[in-house]
Amino acid sequence: MKAIKVGILGLGTVGGGTALVLQRNANEISRRVGRPVHVTMASVRSLDSQRLCDCSQLTLTQDPFEIVNAPDIDIVVELIGGDTVAKDLVLKAIENKKHVVTANKALIALHGNEIFAAAEAKNVSVSYESAVAGGISIIKAIREGLAGNKIELLAGIINGTGNFILTEMRDKGRTFDDVLVEAQELGYAEADPTFDVEGIDAAHKLTILAAIAFGTPLQFDKVYTEGISKLSLIDVGYAEELGYRIKHLGIAKASDDGLELRVHPTLIPEKRLIANVDGVMNAVLVKGDAVGNTMHYGAGAGAEPTASAVVADILDIVRTIDAPTSCRVPHLGFQPAEIKDRPVKTVEQFESAYYLRFDVSDIAGVMSKLSSQFADQNISIEGIAQKEPVAGQDFVSVIFITQRTNEGQLDRAIASIEAMDEVRADAIKIRVEHFN
């Protein structure tokens, strides 16, 4: 069969890694798909940079539009990032009836509905396995491997930078700011770390996972997002003393009255496998009605792990490139006409257990008042821990772990407690999930 020609937009870390993997494993790959797959063009910012791959057989250009318009390119791989030029390039490639592979989570989370509709109109595929959790084939697992299930829950450590910071805080007692500087030096975090540490990157990925899990449109603006930048070492330590670890999770839950889409720090019992995923590694827990809990673990970033997913997408496209569109897995896992909106809950409607820390000046006098506020809102308390007063401080900390409750009710109890003279505003509230 005729060779497939691939053009890569952006020959940086992931682009260079993708070309390298396609070159190094060329023999293995053609043994799998029955035809050669060659990278023949790539766009670059500068023509004389060092590359990860061999460029001797590649046409390099500084104009990525040259690639999306090249008549002999079958598959365009978009690795430029961002959602402006990348979007124009992807839409142009689709218009030219080229299949597209992209690692761009922002692009898919924000413009996926439009991009997929354009691709469906032209009978081409836009694949995005590498956009979520790097080398873990989680898109394939949900869209295909678990296709017989109603997905009830997914929860993922889907930002390696954040997980690295939380792991260092717990293991070495270092502060958030301290670890962030190291993460930047190691290249795990950007100079502007906002996307990683404020949860926006994780929210992009959760948007994608939720759409394919539930068959809903992509709806980034409905994801509740809380980062890790305000997380205190004190609470990381208290959580550990209570048998929990704090992970920054993207959580999507379906129930009859709607979906919860949320990204936030979460206490997880230390015995759970996902609580033991450390450093820059990613993992996604998926619960289906038939399969129960599954977990998918691997590197979430880096040149070759991400390239692994990009190449898998390329090979899926190669396999069905001459076949009718109906043989391909639909973009969001469900037939386009079957993508259906479902109500998304607001924060006040969330159901969770909670870790609460109050700093109080007069522990003896205040405990019964606190307890009565919880009782007034029908909130059951799972456990209470009172910390020893720290020398030089005129307050002590009390920790409550609640049973599962409604967040609106909880917030009313917290507001009443914060209004007390003996209690310092503001309470610390971190959600707790048990995943059993």
Residues binding its own copies (CB under 8 A)? 1, 17, 21-22, 24-25, 28-29, 31-34, 129, 135-137, 140-141, 144-150, 215, 273, 276-277, 288-299, 302, 304-305, 307-312, 314-316, 319-320, 322-324, 326-330, 333-335, 338
Least separation in angstroms between residue 77's CB and its own copies is 12
Least separation in angstroms between residue 66's CB and its own copies is 26
Comparing CB distances to its own copies, the nearer of 299 and 353 is 299
Comparing CB distances to its own copies, the nearer of 60 and 315 is 315
Least separation in angstroms between residue 69's CB and its own copies is 27
Q: Which two tokens stand for residue 421?
A: 């003279």
Least separation in angstroms between residue 411's CB and its own copies is 34
Question: CA–CA separation, 24 vs 41, rounded Å?
Answer: 17
Question: CA–CA separation, 332 vs 305, rounded Å?
Answer: 23
Comparing CB distances to its own copies, the nearer of 45 and 271 is 271
DSSP calls for 1-27 = -PPEEEEEE--SHHHHHHHHHHHHTHH
Question: CA–CA separation, 30 vs 299, rounded Å?
Answer: 25
Least separation in angstroms between residue 256's CB and its own copies is 14
Q: Which two tokens stand for residue 420?
A: 């007390």
**DSSP H stretches of helix in 327-428:** 363-376, 407-418
Half-sphere exposure of 334 (CA within 13 A, CB side): 20
Comparing CB distances to its own copies, the nearer of 54 and 348 is 54
Cis, bond preceding 426 (omega within 30 deg of 0): yes
Q: What is the DSSP letter of 141?
A: I
Place of tokens 């109109």: 121
Residue 87: count of CB within 10 angstroms of its CB: 18
3-state secondary structure of 262: strand
Comparing CB distances to its own copies, the nearer of 191 and 327 is 327
Least separation in angstroms between residue 32's CB and its own copies is 5
Backbone angles phi, psi at 121, to 5 degrees: -65, -30
**Helices and strands, number each (H, E), in the chain:** 14, 17
Write the CB contacts of 154 (distance below 8 Å, at least 6 apart in sequence).
Answer: 142, 209, 210, 213, 250, 251, 252, 284, 285, 286, 287
Least separation in angstroms between residue 273's CB and its own copies is 6
Question: CA–CA separation, 235 vs 267, rounded Å?
Answer: 10
Comparing CB distances to its own copies, the nearer of 148 and 392 is 148
Comparing CB distances to its own copies, the nearer of 47 and 327 is 327
Comparing CB distances to its own copies, the nearer of 15 and 199 is 15
Least separation in angstroms between residue 191's CB and its own copies is 26
Nearest to 434 by CA among 294, 272, 284, 288: 272
Based on its alpha-carbon atoms, the radius of gyration of the chain, rounded to whole angstroms, reads: 24
Question: CA–CA separation, 372 vs 367, rounded Å?
Answer: 9
Catalytically annotated residue among 205, 247, 253, 287 = 205
Handedness of CA 349, 224, 335, 319 (dihedral sign): negative
Q: Does the annotation count 205 as an active-site position?
A: yes
Q: List residues with catalytic annotation.
A: 205
